[in-house]
Chains A and B, each alone.
Chain A
Amino acid sequence: MKSRRVVTRLKKALPWAAGGAVFILWGASRLWPEFSFGERVGRSSLGMLLEMVWILPVMFLLVGLFEVWVPRASIERYLGREAGWKAVPWLILLAMLQAGPLYGAFPVAIGLARKGCSPRNVFIYLGAFSSLKIPLLTFEVGFLGWPFSLARVLISLPAFILVGILMERLVPGWAPPEFQASGGNSNPSPKADCAGGPEVHFRREDSSLDSKKSEVFDGSPKEDKP
């Protein structure tokens, strides 16, 4: 029992230790200019940080708005289990129109899953996002040429659809994890609470479904910090 607690504590400390290591390496290069590795580490970490500072707020804002405005029924209809193969073109279109690194698509995928997009389609979306984004393709065509890009896109397409199908088999019953505030609020206010918006008629249809899934985690403003 005790050792497990130590492990979790170590795990929690790891990110901050890694961040500290980067900072120390960078600081060392300040003190001893000949230690250029530290400077490079500092510079690329900063570049990464800046990239994320720019991308993540946009992504999370988008996902937050998606969560409160998009009716569950429509995502379920087009991307849910019953949608079948008709969902794939939508997923690909959605993925192609986006930009940024794959980790930017994680929150979007979770947002889709929370609205009833089936697990298979969530992972097909991730696959499509990773390899078919239009901004990415423009770069690829520019530097590696049309034949390379076209071959990669056409061969990747069945590959990531297969990955999606296999994911559904290998991780049965996958559901997005909850994103509760770590403070541990215990107010499972049902979603119906916030259904005052324009799509009330949608909500009424699926309110039972909705509240079942989102008991732990919803965007209700009531359950603030204790």
Chain B
Amino acid sequence: MKALAVFTAAALLISLAADRRRTWMGIRFGLRMLMKILPALVLMISAVGLLLSALNPRFLESLFGGSGLISFLSGLAVGAVALIPGFIAFPMAGVLRAHGVSTAVLAAFVTSLLMVGVVTLPLEIRFFGRKAALWRNVLSLAAAAVVALVMAVVLR
């Protein structure tokens, strides 16, 4: 992320040096996009705040603990709804594995966490339109389930 910020800053400076008017146009473009999605962002921040405080590792452990279909599905569901940055999610997944959560459930949780974003759906709808955003999430959820199942077979 830092590298990206540095890259963007460098690009901005080069752009400024090359053509100030055009740079300003670019900044305005970005700002307008940001303004358009602002309400969705506020919703997302609030939803994440509420959800993250409801989820804690112990709760997840009790949810994922079994090895049956229910824990697999709850892995998918929690992964789909939660929006947890990687630097928190993977340590958490590591802890869960150490506590005996099966690979299938862990894979379901991680893949759907990465590919599906229910909380970010309002934002995604703003960007891509309702139909595309909904389909992308539905398909990604299905893909996450398939990936997790195959992983469970491969890694057994």
Contacts and interface: CB of A to CB of B under 8 A. Distances in A.
Tell whether A pairs with B: yes
B120 A68 contact: no
Contacts of B7: 62
Contacts of B97: 144
Interface string B13-36: 001001101111111111111111
A12 interface: yes
A93 to B, nearest CB: 15
Contact of B29 (A64, A163, A167): A64
Given A63-B33, A166-B139, A139 B132 contact: no
Contacts of A181: 32, 35-36
Interface residues of A, number: 85
A132 B117 CA distance: 16
Contacts of B18: 197-198
Contacts of A163: 136, 139-140, 143
Given A52-B41, A65-B23, A143-B91, A18 B1 contact: no
B1 A177 contact: no
A102 B137 CA distance: 12
A142 B94 CA distance: 9
Which DSSP category, helix, strand, loop or mixed, fits chain A's interface?
Answer: helix
Contact of B22 (A16, A18, A56, A68): A68
A171 B135 contact: yes
A45 B48 contact: yes
Contacts of A57: 34
Interface in A25-77: 37, 40-46, 48-49, 51-52, 54-58, 60-69
A11 to B, nearest CB: 9
Given A64-B29, A65-B23, A143-B91, A100 B4 contact: yes
B115 A130 contact: yes
B114 interface: yes
B25 A152 contact: no
Given A41-B53, A140-B86, A144-B106, A60 B25 contact: no
Contact of B11 (A16, A40, A62, A155): A62
A69 B23 CA distance: 9
Interface in A132-183: 135-136, 139-140, 142-144, 147-148, 151-152, 155-156, 159-160, 162-163, 166-167, 170-171, 174, 176-177, 179-182
Interface of B: 1, 3-5, 7-8, 11-12, 15, 18-19, 21-36, 39-50, 52-53, 83, 85-87, 90-91, 93-94, 97, 103, 106-107, 110-111, 114-115, 117, 120, 122-124, 126-129, 131-132, 135-136, 139-140, 143-144, 146-147, 150-151, 154-155
23 contacts: A37-B53, A41-B50, A41-B53, A45-B45, A54-B1, A56-B41, A63-B30, A65-B12, A67-B30, A68-B25, A69-B22, A101-B83, A110-B33, A127-B143, A148-B103, A148-B106, A152-B107, A159-B144, A160-B115, A160-B143, A171-B131, A171-B132, A180-B32
